[in-house]
Amino acid sequence: MTVETLSNQTSFALSNQAEIILNHRYYLKNTENTVIEDAPALFRRVANAIASVDNQYEVLPQEVQHLSDKFFNMMQNLEFLPNSPTLMNAGTNQGTLSACFVLPLEDSMQDIMKAAADAAMVQKFGGGTGFALSKIRPKGAKINTTHGVACGPIEVLKTLSRVSSMITQGGKRDGANMAVMSVYHPDIEEFIACKTVEGDIHNFNISVAVDDYFMKKVETDSLYSLHDPHTDAVVGQVSARKIFESIVMGAWKNGEPGMIFLDRINADNKVLSAYGPMISTNPCGEQPLLGYESCNLGSINLAKFHVKNLGARDWNDEINWGRLIQVVNLATHFLDNVIDANEYSIPEIAQMTRATRKIGLGVMGFADLLVKLRIPYDSELAREVGRKLMQGIRMAADVKSIELGSMRGAFPAWEDSHYKIHENYRNSCRLTVAPTGTISMIAGCASGIEPLFALVWRKQNILEGQTLHYVNEQFEEDAKNYGFYSEELMAYLSEGGLLESREDVPEWVKSIYVTAPEISPEHHVLMQAAFQKSVDSGISKTINFAKEATPTDVYVSYIQAWQTGCKGITVYRNGSRDKEVLVNGHKSEVVLDNALCGCDNPMIVQADGCESCKVCGWSACTIS
């Protein structure tokens, strides 16, 4: 595949922020480190590489070129963007195109060292990794072959963390990981507390895996049994509520651990009988995966499908459903092709990925769409919009996957799956809502299904030493059109002020432009649950809490997430970490433009020469 250099086309509208990110991490460079691409050339490189896969399926050359043009147009229009590894590596013969992986971790020295070596290769190729510690024998357990005692899963976790610290993902970002432990493991209390000291095991997120049985024990304040995973023997009983409260207290203190609900996850595991249950996720938690599975992600920018319609009867009449379905079809085709175009770091991942052919089509820009529709994020109507949009996307993606299955064959594990005879899907799952941190900044929209973070904010680019100031363009336009714009208002908002205290701002504006810190945790959880109804994989969503929130508030949200059918929950209480994130007021920390962490999320700060990400725990210091 020949790589295009700088194009002669007139560049389309990209923000200054997007150009900085693309220049730093995405555009190809020559041996002198000079940029040799612009945005159209990047999108053409990716489109050509992914469309060329159709040549494997006896498609005419002109049809392949036509498909490449369609892929190019939807990316250039910023209607859809694939995950960062695809943008970086497609058409270069370097690195992986997938973002997330789960590696199996069995209870032997050989298996642990293999997992560490596999993780190093995955992260060298540009991916993030998830592990389940649940099969590792507890600390102090006897080892018959050496007559010694086991170090326990936390020491294994620290070993994996040290390995990850040596690797820079694809040469462009540090490694990111997820560690999951079953609530039935004898070392669960040590696991819950393993990140109490901020900075410890800094390149891992941690989550506790629970099931309905455990949650019901929490409700009734009952005891439950802990099991040695090596012998399956019961080694003790403990209060379910005590353990749950420990999880909640950790989340209240610094956002960890999160929680994943295994019964809900495996209800959508259509290859359960063939490969067993899923027990871990990727680093940001939105993609539950089997051992050695990977998933390539891509997201549709929902804000691009709003159309002004003065005669609209309701919000449905302001959505360009026809174009949205076209983009869903194209994006599904695109992501299926990525599986074949991919370079895999180890053969086991190639084999498993091609067996289940999971893709993760998601969305971003949802909050921007709600603003255009004049619908408050924290309203039942907003949740109805989310439910119906995702339902429509699910139906279109399913139909397209079946169409691809009829032409190319269903995913190889289909015959051992729980799908019905007429559901010959090409992909064992189709939808995932990822954080979309960096790609949403390229697209100029809100990330994932998150609300607006702020209306005016500042970010510092560490490479060019400049502080960049940003204003939500739709808000600025409304402020001018409706007569409440002032430099004083913008300065007030940039210092962390909220609209609710401004008498000069109309009430309807305050409700429409509600930001993440102003939205109650209950509404955050309900929005996640609304989207989850049609997402066959998982959702990355942060449940925000005010600094004054109590552990009881977090307790209630964890229970609510389980009761409303979420597959997991991640919370963050403002001010609960030494290094705050996404600041928009007077703090020593400032948000970075270029998300360098492995979770591909924008929530990175710089303070006193150090950078850190609250989502994946990644950190690095540039001064001693």
Backbone φ, ψ for residue 315 (5° rounding): -65, -25
In the chain, the domains with their CATH numbers are 16-91+296-437 (no CATH), 100-281 (3.20.70.20)
Residue 174 pLDDT: 57
pLDDT at 471: 87
List the one residue out of 598, 622, 624 whose CA is nearest residue 613.
598
- 606 has a pLDDT exceeding 60: no
Burial per residue of 311-326, b for 16 or more beta-carbon CB atoms within 10 angstroms, e otherwise: eeeebeebbeeeebbe
Q: For residues 43-64, give the mean pLDDT.
A: 97
State residue 5's pLDDT score: 47
Report pLDDT for 574.
86
Question: Residue 624: pLDDT above 90?
Answer: no
C-alpha torsion sign, points 555, 556, 562, 567: negative
pLDDT at 68 > cutoff 70: yes
- pLDDT of 593 higher than 70: no
pLDDT per residue as tens digits for the range 405-417: 999 999 999 999 9
Does the pLDDT at position 426 exceed 80? yes
pLDDT above 80: residue 588: no
Mean pLDDT, rounded, for 539-553: 94
Tokens 């600390």 correspond to what residue?
A: 139
Give the pLDDT confidence score for residue 437 in this predicted structure: 85
Residue 255 Rama label (left phi>0; alpha psi -120 to 50; beta): left
Cβ 345 vs Cβ 127: under 8 Å: yes
Q: Is the pLDDT of residue 127 over 70?
A: yes
The DSSP line for 324-393 is: HHHHHHHHHHHHHHHHHH---SSHHHHHHHHHH--EEEEEE-HHHHHHHHT--TTSHHHHHHHHHHHHHH
Q: What is the pLDDT of residues 432-469, one digit of tens each?
A: 999 998 899 999 999 999 999 899 877 655 445 555 56
Question: Confidence band (pLDDT; 50, 70, 90) for 215?
Answer: very high
Interatomic CA distance for residues 334 and 298, integer angstroms: 9
Burial class (CB in 10 A: 0-12, 13-18, 19+), 33: exposed
**Based on the number of CB atoms within 10 Å of its own CB, is 119 exposed (0-12), middle (13-18) or buried (19 or more)?**
buried
Lowest mean per-residue pLDDT among 32-41, 222-231, 460-469: 460-469
The average pLDDT across 354-366 equals 97
Res 106: pLDDT? 94
How confident is the prediction for the chain on average, in pLDDT? Answer: 88
List Cα–Cα distances, 492 to 207, 475, 586, 603, in angstroms.
38, 14, 11, 22
Give the percent of the chain with pLDDT over 70: 87
Confidence bin at 591 (pLDDT 50/70/90):
very low
- Number of other residues whose CB lies within 10 A of the CB of residue 71: 25
Give me the percent of the chain exceeding a pLDDT of 90.
74
The whole-number pLDDT of residue 310 equals 84
Q: What is the pLDDT of residue 312?
A: 87
- Confidence band, pLDDT 50/70/90 cuts, at residue 12: low
**Exposed e or buried b for every residue in 420-453, given b needs 16+ CB within 10 A?**
eeeebbbbbbbbbbbbbbbbbbbbbbbbbbbbbb
Residue 278 binned pLDDT confidence (cut-offs 50, 70, 90):
very high
List the single range of 4-18, 120-134, 299-313, 364-378 with lowest mean pLDDT.
Answer: 4-18
Least confident span in 195-204, 443-452, 530-539: 195-204
Strand boundaries in 141-257, DSSP class E: 142-143, 148-149, 168-169, 173-174, 177-182, 204-210, 223-227, 234-239
Looking at the DSSP bridge assignments, the partners of residue 590 are: 606
- The SS3 assignment for 101 reads strand
Quickly tell me which residue has 């790589």 as its tokens.
3
State the pLDDT at residue 173.
53
β-bridge pairing 456-461 and 590-592? parallel
pLDDT of residue 49: 98
Among 339, 322, 331, which Cα is nearest to 301's?
331
Q: Sorting pLDDT into bands at 50, 70 and 90, what band is 381? A: very high
The catalytic site residues sit at 282, 284, 286
Position 69 scores a pLDDT of 98
CA distance 265 to 275: 14
> What's the token pair of residue 112?
């642990």
pLDDT at 170 over 60: no
Instruction: Report residue 197's pLDDT band, with 50, 70 and 90 as the boundaries.
Output: confident
Confidence at residue 198, expressed as pLDDT on a 0 to 100 scale: 66
